[in-house]
Amino acid sequence: MRYLPIPSDFFAANRKNVSQRLEPGSVALVCSSYQMPRNGDQYYPYRQNSDFFYLTGIEQEKSLLLLAPDSLQPEYRELLFILRSTPKMEIWEGKKLTLQEASEISGIAQVYYLDELEGILDRLMAEMDGLYVNTSLIAAESKHPLSQDAMYAEKLRIRYPNQGYRSLQTILQALRLIKSDIEITLLREAIAITRETFLEVLQAIRPGNYEFEIEALIYQGFIRRRASGHAYEPIVASGANACYLHYTRNCARCQSGDLVLLDFGAEYANYAADLSRTIPVNGRYSKRQRELYDSVLRTFYYARSLMKPGITINQLNSEVGRWVQEEHVKLGLYTTGSIKAHQGENPLWHNFYMHGTSHFLGLDVHDVGTKDQVLQPGMVLTCEPGIYIADEGIGIRTENNILITSEGYVDLMENIPIEADDIEQRMHHT
């Protein structure tokens, strides 16, 4: 592991929280991620299923967790299964976890090899009533051909047709929404790595750089600091490319006089940072760029001020929409009159700001939680207003990561330069 070990107490507490919320007498089963085939005998880089990691800390493929808190046999209440490695497998892939190592990482006393699962499960199901599987509540996702949980649930339905089946997702999502102190520490580390890397990018960037050169610099900054890499595909979008919201081709040349929109974040111990900044390629914002930038920044401060317990992301989005509309009028993008005259499904401001202001953040960059979730202390979400004016070839977004507290919020990125003056001062000028 590149990251410093996480105490197994964290995973044990998460399992306990799940166990306490299960229907009496039931069993819960959670699978590791599927190993995604690429081509031939190649696989995509392995990333553990976030729920499985949250409950075990195990990052190895072909692992499975069983919880049966009400079993009369204490040794069956918490079971971890891992793959049985072979000398040939190890020659190619290196050492796999031993039973002892898996037990130390997860804090689970009873660890078995996967080939012992069926026998144990048969004995357990004779005693228990009801099975939780970790399949998605969204119909389309539950049919995902590569979800190990969905594939295993199909097998279970054949083997134990008379059991009641439930999804574990409601329980896990509610738990993952509220970050524990350890999780905040890990998120802060992902953010610190992202910050230090951003400061390097600010100094290094020059007119004529290719977007991919900046992407490379970011990756280097990340993995040098013990991140596993990017938490998501980084966006390095100069000039008009910034108007494509999910531009990840990163292959254009950054021209003097253009802005470059950076949306990137390190993944540390499987936790994601998510930062956006829009900076001038030559070190100085033009008058118009500065006018637009400061407008987005005002919206950012306004949106952030709304973040506190009691509000939902949906409510936040509509409040921000009203604010953005006034900003757009000030910028001359449309008039108050045209707002009144406008007819159509979407308000006029959607033409220049077409995404939401917030999403939850955690083990996944778009973490669990819906837009009608009422915010509570311990939740972490992004604040990311923007403006995209295709006619002017300008796209601007600023994004920080915000922790909700009982008093309101803490901005976990408050020490990352965001004011235009501050950004200019830290840049090389041409």
Spatial distance between the Cα atoms of 33 and 63, rounded to a whole number of angstroms:
8
The gap from C-alpha 34 to its chain's centroid, in whole angstroms, comes to 19
Binding region for Mn ion (CB under 5 A) out of 108-116, 273-281, 306-314, 334-342: 273-281
CB nearer to Mn ion: pick between 270 and 382: 382
- As measured in angstroms, the least distance from the Cβ of 409 to Mn ion is 16
CB nearer to Mn ion: pick between 33 and 382: 382
Spatial distance between the Cα atoms of 229 and 197, rounded to a whole number of angstroms:
12
Binding region for Mn ion (CB under 5 A) out of 40-48, 83-91, 274-282, 306-314: 274-282
What string marks each residue from 33 to 72 as x (binds Mn ion by CB under 5 A) or -? ----------------------------------------
The pair of three-digit structure tokens given for residue 234, joined into one six-digit string: 């980084």
Residue 32 in contact with Mn ion, rule: CB under 5 A: no
Going along 11-121, which residue ranges are E strands?
27-31, 64-67, 78-82, 110-113
Helices 8-21 and 169-177: crossing angle, nearest 10°?
Answer: 130
C-alpha torsion 145→150→155→160, nearest 10: -160
- Could you tell me how many residues of this chain bind Mn ion (CB under 5 A)? 2
Residue type, 248: T
Among 61, 78, 267, 274, binds Mn ion (CB under 5 A): 274
Alpha helix (H) ranges present in 87-210?
87-93, 99-106, 117-127, 139-142, 148-159, 169-177, 181-204
Other C-beta atoms lying within 10 Å of the C-beta of residue 429: 9
CB nearer to Mn ion: pick between 282 and 382: 382
Spatial distance between the Cα atoms of 57 and 51, rounded to a whole number of angstroms:
10
Which residues are catalytic, by number? 41, 246, 263, 274, 355, 359, 366, 384, 388, 397, 399
- As measured in angstroms, the least distance from the Cβ of 415 to Mn ion is 19
Spatial distance between the Cα atoms of 260 and 278, rounded to a whole number of angstroms:
6
- As measured in angstroms, the least distance from the Cβ of 227 to Mn ion is 17
C-alpha distances (whole Å) from 125 to each of 158, 184, 312 are: 13, 38, 41
CB nearer to Mn ion: pick between 130 and 356: 356
Strand partners, 179: none
CB nearer to Mn ion: pick between 62 and 359: 359
DSSP string, 120-138: HHHHHHHH---EEE---SS
CA dihedral over 101, 105, 108, 112, signed as positive or negative: negative
Binding region for Mn ion (CB under 5 A) out of 42-50, 134-142, 144-152, 267-275: 267-275
- As measured in angstroms, the least distance from the Cβ of 312 to Mn ion is 18
- As measured in angstroms, the least distance from the Cβ of 260 to Mn ion is 17
Binding region for Mn ion (CB under 5 A) out of 216-224, 268-276, 367-375, 385-393: 268-276
Spatial distance between the Cα atoms of 385 and 405, rounded to a whole number of angstroms:
21
Task: Tell which positions 366-405 bind Mn ion, by CB under 5 A.
Answer: 382
CB nearer to Mn ion: pick between 326 and 364: 364
Spatial distance between the Cα atoms of 329 and 338, rounded to a whole number of angstroms:
10
For tokens 């890499």, the residue is: 229
CB nearer to Mn ion: pick between 15 and 277: 277
Spatial distance between the Cα atoms of 247 and 357, rounded to a whole number of angstroms:
18
CB nearer to Mn ion: pick between 22 and 313: 313
Spatial distance between the Cα atoms of 131 and 160, rounded to a whole number of angstroms:
9
- As measured in angstroms, the least distance from the Cβ of 355 to Mn ion is 9
What string marks each residue from 154 to 193 as x (binds Mn ion by CB under 5 A) or -? ----------------------------------------
Strand partners, 271: 268
- As measured in angstroms, the least distance from the Cβ of 367 to Mn ion is 10
- As measured in angstroms, the least distance from the Cβ of 399 to Mn ion is 5
Q: Which residues bind Mn ion (CB under 5 A)?
A: 274, 382
